Amino acid sequence: MIKFTSSEVRDLIIAFFVISLSFAIANVGRDPNAILNLLPFVMVGVGTGFILHELGHKFVSIKYGYWAEFKLWPQGLIFALITSFFGFVFAAPGAVYTYANYITDEINGKISVAGPVVNIVLALIFLAAATGIYPTALASETNITIFIICSAGYSINSFLALFNLLPIGNLDGAKVLNWNFGIWIVTIAVAGILTASYMTVGVENIIRLILGM
C-alpha cells in the first residue's frame, strides 16, 4: 500500500502547480490571458505526467521494500519558472527519495527508469486518444478541447521522459545508464523520437500521417 505524508502531499501540489505554470509560460509567453487559457490544458498533461512519474518511482521503491517520499526542491522550481520565459522548461521541481542503507545499481536503475517509462506510456496513450478524436475534433467545442488536452499531454510527457533520461547529475538517466546501457539507450531513443516528432512535425501532422490524411 502506498502511503503519503502530509508534507509530501503539500510538496507534490506545489510542484504540480509551478511546473504547470512554467509549461504554460514556455508555450505562450508572458501574455496573462493566454497563460490562463492554456493552463487548464497543461495541468492535465503535467498532472498525469508529473504525478504518475513520481508515483512510478515510489511504487517500485516500495515494491523492493524501501520507504520512498517525494521532496520539493525550491531552487528547481525557481529555475523552472526562469527558464520558461526563454521558451523551455528545466523541469526539476523535486524528487522521490528512497531511504535504504544499501541499494544495488540494478534496483536503483529499475526505480529510476520507472518514471520515464510511465511518461512514455502516457505520451502514447495521449497520442492514441488525440488520433481517435481528431476526425471529429471540429464537430463540437468539447471535442476540440479533448484534442488540445491530448496533444498537450503527448508533448509534455514526451519531453518529461527525454529530459529525465539525460545521463547528467541526479537525473534518472544517470542511474539507468549506470545499471544497464541497453535499457537506457532504448528508452532515451524512444523518448527522443517522440519529442523530436512533435517539435519538428507537430502533433496534428503526426496524427494526419497516422490516419493517412
Place of cell 526539476: 92
Structurally, the chain folds into a number of domains equal to 1
pLDDT exceeds 80 at position 150: yes
Q: How far apart are the two ends of the chain, measured CA to CA in Å?
A: 46
pTM metric for this prediction? 0.89
**Which of the residues 8, 54, 106, 204 is marked catalytic?**
54
Q: Is 200 helix (H, G, I), strand (E, B) or coil?
A: helix
The tens digit of pLDDT for each residue in 136-147 reads 988 888 899 899
Residue scoring higher pLDDT (93 or 121): 121
Q: Residue 1 domain-assigned? A: no
Predicted local confidence at residue 53, as pLDDT: 94
Q: Residue 172 domain-assigned? A: yes
Q: Residue 127 domain-assigned? A: yes
Place of cell 542511474: 175
Q: Is 54 a catalytic residue?
A: yes
Domain hosting 12: range is 6-206
How far apart are the C-alpha atoms of 142 and 133, rounded to whole Å? Answer: 10
The tens digit of pLDDT for each residue in 53-103 reads 999 999 999 999 999 999 999 999 999 999 999 988 887 888 899 998 889
Instruction: Give me the amino acid identity at 186.
Output: V
Contacts made by residues 88-92, CB under 8 angstroms, sequence distance 24+: 88/26, 89/19, 89/22, 89/23, 89/26, 89/159, 91/19, 91/22, 91/50, 91/159, 91/160, 91/163, 92/171
Q: Residue 24 domain-assigned? A: yes
pLDDT exceeds 90 at position 46: no
Q: Residue 211 domain-assigned? A: no
List the grid coordinates of 7. Answer: 508534507
How far apart are the C-alpha atoms of 175 and 112, rounded to whole Å? Answer: 6
Q: Residue 212 domain-assigned? A: no
Least confident of 61-65, 92-96, 161-165, 191-195: 92-96
